[in-house]
Amino acid sequence: MKLLLTSAGVKNESIKQALLELLDKPIEECNALCIPTAIYALNGGTKHAWNFFNGDFSTPMCELGWKSVGVLELSALPSIDESVWRPAFDKADVLLVNGGDPLFLYHWMKQSGVASLLPSWKGVYVGLSAGSMVMTPRIGEAFVGWRASDEQSDDTLGFVDFSIFPHLDHEMLPENTSRDAAEWAETLQSPAYAIDDETAIRVNEGKIDVISEGKWKKFF
C-alpha cells in the first residue's frame, strides 16, 4: 500500500514532494476521489464538508490541481449496487480522506466494503487527521467520540502497525500538547507517532519515513 498520513493535508512543499513521489506522475494527470464521511459526526460537519470540497487552505487536499475530483460518500454505498461506484474507485489515482471522527469513519469503511478493497487497490491513500488515524491499529481512548455501540473499542483498520496523535501542540487545541501526546502513548504501549500540522508519515510498500517541516515525536 502507498499511504501519506497527514495531520492537516498537504501543508508544505516537503509533503507535496512526498505525494508526487508516491503518485509517480504530475497531480494534473491524476484522478482523485475525496471521502468526506468522517466529518459528518462532528458539530458543523456539513459546513466543514463543503470547505473540504471547495478547497480549505488550512488543510489542502482537494484544491491541489487534480485532473478530476469526485466524491465517494461511504455511508451511501451500502444502499447502492457496487457496480455503480466501483469503476470510479478502481480508476482513482488517489483517495483524499477527510478528518473528523475516526471511529465513525472506521464504521463506514467497513460497512461500505471499501476497507476490504484497499489492500489490493493500486492508488495512493492520503489521510487528513482522522483519515490518517483510521489506518492504524488503535486510536486510544483519548480520541474516542462516536461509537456504534457501547461495546465498541478504540480499534481501527490496522493497515499500519503504529498509532497517530495528530495536531501536536496546535494553538487551537489545548488538549493536544506534547504532554498529552506522551500520556496518550503510555496508554497504548505500542509504536506511535505524534505529528503536527506540518508533518506527514509516508508508507510505501511497508517502508516508513517521516516528512516534516515542523514537529513530531516517535514513541516506543
The domain ranges of the chain are: 2-219
SS3 of 36, please? coil
Phi, psi angle pair for 213, to nearest 5°: -115, 20
How many contiguous H segments (helices) and E segments (strands) does the chain have?
7, 10
pLDDT in 10s for each residue of the chain, 220 residues: 999 999 999 999 999 999 999 999 999 999 999 999 999 999 999 999 999 998 877 899 999 999 999 999 999 999 999 999 999 999 999 999 999 999 999 999 999 999 999 999 999 999 999 999 999 999 999 999 999 998 899 999 999 999 999 999 999 999 999 999 999 999 999 999 999 999 999 999 999 999 999 999 999 9
C-alpha cell at 121: 487497490
pTM to 2 decimals?
0.97
Q: Write down the architecture of domain 2-219 according to CATH.
A: 3-Layer(aba) Sandwich (3.40)
